[in-house]
Chain A
Amino acid sequence: MGRKILLDKINIPGIKTYEVYRQNGGYASVEKALKTLTPDEVTEEVKTSGLRGRGGAGFPVGLKWSFIDKKSGKPRHLVCNADESEPGTFKDRFLMEYIPHLLIEGMITSSYALGANLSYIYIRGEYMWVFKILERAIKEAYAAGWLGKNILGTDFSLDLHVHCGAGAYICGEETALIESLEGKRGNPRIKPPFPAVSGLWANPTVVNNVESIAAVPWIINNSGADYAAIGIGRSTGTKLISASGHIKNPGVYEIELGLSVEEFMNSDEYLGGMMNDRPLKALVPGGSSVPILPAHLIYKTANGDDRLMTYESLSDGGFATGSMLGSGGFIVYNDTTCIVRNTWNFSRFYHHESCGQCSPCREGTGWLEKVLHRIENGHGRMEDIDLLWDIQSKIEGNTICPLGDAAAWPVAAAIRHFRDEFEYHVRFPEKIKNRDHFVEEPFEKVRHLIAKQTV
């Protein structure tokens, strides 16, 4: 049984409400931080914990906090990024829906550490009911004196607002989020200046994921060293994984980083193995943006080591044989899946969600989608596979924000590991004309068709 930090109290009835949350030790970290610690000590504690950003990039949270410009004398802001839109990821929704006060507690403690007196939670528009839950929770927190002027009689004041997005994936990028929060079109800004220097209303700003902020109360209640003791190496603490796909028990799981992928996939405590006991074909370990892994690279890395659920182990081997932990959107595919269709579906998403600001992403994502759609529907040409490779390599790294990279990586990985499947689509359009073409006839059965034949 793994250690639970975020979901420890999730099963207590009524934990959604302030009273029950408070009775179960809620808001203790605020008391501890405000009364006994200085803001810098809180930051130091988070730094020692080794907590890494849970939104996808995995940047150390404490380090990010220490970058915030405290010298300029401008007001500072903390913004919580609850615009969770990565396909395959639904952990923040779970946290905010079932234990909203944990996020609010984290926001107060973190704002104290940063010296922010005005903080925001930016939630995606599709989470309207969660938005209402958070609003209610914030009202309760105001009523109980945890928010507002002079919290707990100290001279720290904090106003917290929830802001609702309007349904754009790109607003999960921190500078686009800030633009959107300011009421503008959600276009990512050109960096530098980084938000830590000039963010919301041109003030120093820190943007953190929901899960990162929700981990702060535990770190303050215990200590950074305790948190760092969990996990392996630079991947400390616990991580929420949103598991979906062809597995027995999909859902949100809290795991200690360092658990092996094999155990996570097959133990009954977690995913419980493959649905209908069909063979495993592929895995996307961190949300749609990260490279897909073929079956032989899931449990073992290319060197033959066990693949672990850590930032380092999942990215072992770089993009050639590895992937990324990302935001923890764990999507499992069995042999009935068509990788081409899946890649097309991801590309369609990025095509739809590109902001249209910089040319490689605006034009490239649309092009990728069109070519993939053609291949998936049996109108592909052999040169299209190389064309796809070429397009993705020209988007990657040449864009303003990481959305271009996120659109390019899944395509690159799919071609790298499943090129024969693309060729099968091109060469046997009759066989793939139905959507369920791999259900009756998994690819393993027809692989021999595309083998090179010598006459």
Chain B
Amino acid sequence: MKVTIDGHEIEVEPGTTILQAARMIGGESVPPAMCYYSKLKGSGGKCRCCLVEVSKGSDANPTPMPKLMASCVTGVMDGMEVKSISSPRVQEARKSVTEFLLINHPLDCPVCDQAGECDLQNLSFNHGKSETRFIEEKRTFEPENIGENIQLHMNRCILCYRCVMTADQLTDGRVHGVVNRGDHSQISTCISKAIDNEFSGNMIDVCPVGALTDKTFRFKSRVWFNKPFNAHRDCDKCCGKTTVWMFGNEIQRVTARKDEYHEVEEFICNSCRFDHKDVNDWVIEGPRKFEKFSVINQNNYTRKLDKVTIETEKQILLGRDQDRKKISMVEVPLKNTENSKS
């Protein structure tokens, strides 16, 4: 089947989705995806970030599709023509979806463990605006403890349903899911149960935002201060192939290996992830490759880093000269303020 995306032609198997075809082409045409996960069956279609314009349905039926289509769940047809980044409508839709995702998302990136490897940060960097039109109070949820290993921050969740599908497809007996409806739907365990399962840690890896984070890594470090290394060990439960995130000689975090779309290559078990934090547990293969323009690369030691100098006024803690004058000299009246009248 032949499909054209932003003018790039590619031959794909029947049953491929537009997003998969775009990923084969690569580059700028690849739509962002917050909920789609190629390793999880039935994922996608929810976040609406990957909307594309189908300007020609197929060779057999060349009429364009009137609505924007979610590229992750729309299969390609022979002769289909798709506009992704080249369509202003698509650009507009991505901007609006980004805005919708951000209006209730807390601005706690400075304290969020996901910051630096967060899909929502990337999305808003590419498609977001720096100002907000949302002046209401943000929606919040009661904190909930969902168990030993995983920290749930419901306020940050964008309801991609990935963790629900992970629990469904990877573990037996899912105990958490989406409860409630509308903008108050939340990820929660079925009546305050703890998530206790050998593969539950993978929920952390599939989470596109900081809603599910690793309790053993909580507030330990920023991800860009860590150096990722590929490592493996003999594990009887999983493949044992991981990325370990080192700070000096210390392993601060263990995650599964992720590909360029931040999707896990092979899922790992909880004992590899949470219980083996000693360097001697692992055979380190070498540095992990990551994207050139990612935040993690900002700390790349191979790059020449200039010394940062912060220029401020001298004796800044003492205040500005003119203010000091006013404070110490009571007899000098302040002009044009109410205080001067009294």
Interface residues of chain A, those whose CB is within 8 Å of chain B, are 168, 170, 185, 190, 351-360, 362-367, 370-371, 374, 387, 394, 397-400
Contacts of B45 in A (CB 8 A): 190, 358, 400
Cβ A359 vs Cβ B101 within 8 A: yes
* Extra pairs beyond A366-B183, A370-B136 (10, CB < 8 Å): A190-B44, A351-B182, A354-B183, A356-B159, A359-B46, A359-B97, A360-B96, A367-B136, A398-B51, A398-B67
Given A190-B70, A358-B47, A400-B46, are A367 and B159 also a contact pair (CB < 8 Å)?
no
| Whole-angstrom CA separation of A358 from B158 in the bound complex | 9
Contact with A along B249-284 (1 / 0, CB 8 A): 000000000000000000000000000000000000
- B178 in the interface, Cβ–Cβ < 8 Å? yes
- B125 in the interface, Cβ–Cβ < 8 Å? no
| Whole-angstrom CA separation of A378 from B208 in the bound complex | 39
Cβ B159 vs Cβ A362 within 8 A: yes
**Interface residue range, chain B:** 35 or more
| Whole-angstrom CA separation of A366 from B159 in the bound complex | 15
CB A392 to nearest CB in B, in angstroms, measures: 11
CB B155 to nearest CB in A, in angstroms, measures: 13
Partner of A363, one of B67, B68, B103: B103
| Whole-angstrom CA separation of A353 from B183 in the bound complex | 9
Contacts of A170 in B (CB 8 A): 181
- B104 in the interface, Cβ–Cβ < 8 Å? yes
Of A185, A359, A394, most B-chain CB atoms within 10 Å: A359
Of A168, A353, A397, most B-chain CB atoms within 10 Å: A397
Contact with A along B173-202 (1 / 0, CB 8 A): 000011011111100000000000000000
Cβ B96 vs Cβ A367 within 8 A: no
| Whole-angstrom CA separation of A400 from B35 in the bound complex | 14
Given A358-B48, A398-B48, A398-B51, are A366 and B182 also a contact pair (CB < 8 Å)?
yes
Provide the main secondary structure of the chain A interface.
Answer: helix
| Whole-angstrom CA separation of A374 from B135 in the bound complex | 11
The closest CB in chain A to the CB of B161 belongs to A357
- B100 in the interface, Cβ–Cβ < 8 Å? yes
Cβ B183 vs Cβ A351 within 8 A: yes
The closest CB in chain A to the CB of B182 belongs to A354
Contacts of B141 in A (CB 8 A): none
| Whole-angstrom CA separation of A387 from B99 in the bound complex | 13
- B139 in the interface, Cβ–Cβ < 8 Å? yes
CB A285 to nearest CB in B, in angstroms, measures: 24
CB A325 to nearest CB in B, in angstroms, measures: 21
Cβ A397 vs Cβ B67 within 8 A: yes
- B303 in the interface, Cβ–Cβ < 8 Å? no
Provide a sorted-by-A list of 7 A–B residue pairs whose CB atoms are within 8 angstroms.
A353-B182, A355-B185, A358-B48, A359-B159, A365-B183, A370-B136, A394-B100
Cβ B178 vs Cβ A356 within 8 A: yes
| Whole-angstrom CA separation of A318 from B127 in the bound complex | 32
A-B interface, 10 closest residue pairs, ranked by CB to CB distance from nearest: A356-B185, A394-B96, A363-B100, A354-B182, A190-B45, A366-B183, A370-B136, A356-B182, A359-B100, A190-B73
Cβ A357 vs Cβ B134 within 8 A: no
Cβ B182 vs Cβ A365 within 8 A: yes
Cβ B51 vs Cβ A363 within 8 A: no
Cβ B136 vs Cβ A362 within 8 A: no
Given A354-B181, A357-B159, are A364 and B100 also a contact pair (CB < 8 Å)?
yes
- B307 in the interface, Cβ–Cβ < 8 Å? no
Contacts of B292 in A (CB 8 A): none
| Whole-angstrom CA separation of A185 from B136 in the bound complex | 29
Contacts of A394 in B (CB 8 A): 92-93, 96, 99-100
Cβ A353 vs Cβ B68 within 8 A: no
| Whole-angstrom CA separation of A400 from B51 in the bound complex | 11
Cβ B184 vs Cβ A356 within 8 A: yes
A-contacting residues, B42-58, CB 8 Å? 44-49, 51
The closest CB in chain A to the CB of B178 belongs to A185
- B314 in the interface, Cβ–Cβ < 8 Å? no
| Whole-angstrom CA separation of A359 from B99 in the bound complex | 10
The closest CB in chain B to the CB of A386 belongs to B133
| Whole-angstrom CA separation of A365 from B159 in the bound complex | 16
Partner of B104, one of A355, A363, A365, A400: A363
CB A262 to nearest CB in B, in angstroms, measures: 34
| Whole-angstrom CA separation of A362 from B103 in the bound complex | 11
Partner of B139, one of A190, A364, A366: A366
The closest CB in chain A to the CB of B97 belongs to A359
Cβ A360 vs Cβ B181 within 8 A: no
The closest CB in chain A to the CB of B100 belongs to A363
Cβ A360 vs Cβ B97 within 8 A: yes
CB B175 to nearest CB in A, in angstroms, measures: 15
| Whole-angstrom CA separation of A35 from B215 in the bound complex | 69
Cβ B103 vs Cβ A359 within 8 A: no
Of B49, B104, B182, B184, most A-chain CB atoms within 10 Å: B182
Contact with A along B65-106 (1 / 0, CB 8 A): 001101001000000000000000000110011011101100
| Whole-angstrom CA separation of A185 from B179 in the bound complex | 9
| Whole-angstrom CA separation of A356 from B158 in the bound complex | 10
Cβ B181 vs Cβ A398 within 8 A: no
| Whole-angstrom CA separation of A359 from B101 in the bound complex | 6
Contacts of B184 in A (CB 8 A): 356
The closest CB in chain A to the CB of B93 belongs to A398
Cβ B183 vs Cβ A355 within 8 A: no
Cβ A356 vs Cβ B183 within 8 A: yes
The closest CB in chain A to the CB of B180 belongs to A356
CB B98 to nearest CB in A, in angstroms, measures: 9
The closest CB in chain B to the CB of A170 belongs to B181
Contact with A along B96-139 (1 / 0, CB 8 A): 11011101100000000000000000000000000001101001
| Whole-angstrom CA separation of A329 from B167 in the bound complex | 43
| Whole-angstrom CA separation of A364 from B184 in the bound complex | 13
Cβ A359 vs Cβ B48 within 8 A: yes
Of A365, A367, A387, most B-chain CB atoms within 10 Å: A367
CB A153 to nearest CB in B, in angstroms, measures: 45
CB B35 to nearest CB in A, in angstroms, measures: 9
Contacts of B178 in A (CB 8 A): 185, 356
| Whole-angstrom CA separation of A397 from B48 in the bound complex | 11
| Whole-angstrom CA separation of A435 from B290 in the bound complex | 59
Partner of B182, one of A362, A374, A399: A362
Cβ B46 vs Cβ A358 within 8 A: yes
| Whole-angstrom CA separation of A118 from B181 in the bound complex | 30
| Whole-angstrom CA separation of A365 from B44 in the bound complex | 21
Contacts of B133 in A (CB 8 A): 387
Contacts of B70 in A (CB 8 A): 190, 400
CB A397 to nearest CB in B, in angstroms, measures: 5
Of B183, B184, B185, most A-chain CB atoms within 10 Å: B183
Contacts of A397 in B (CB 8 A): 67-68
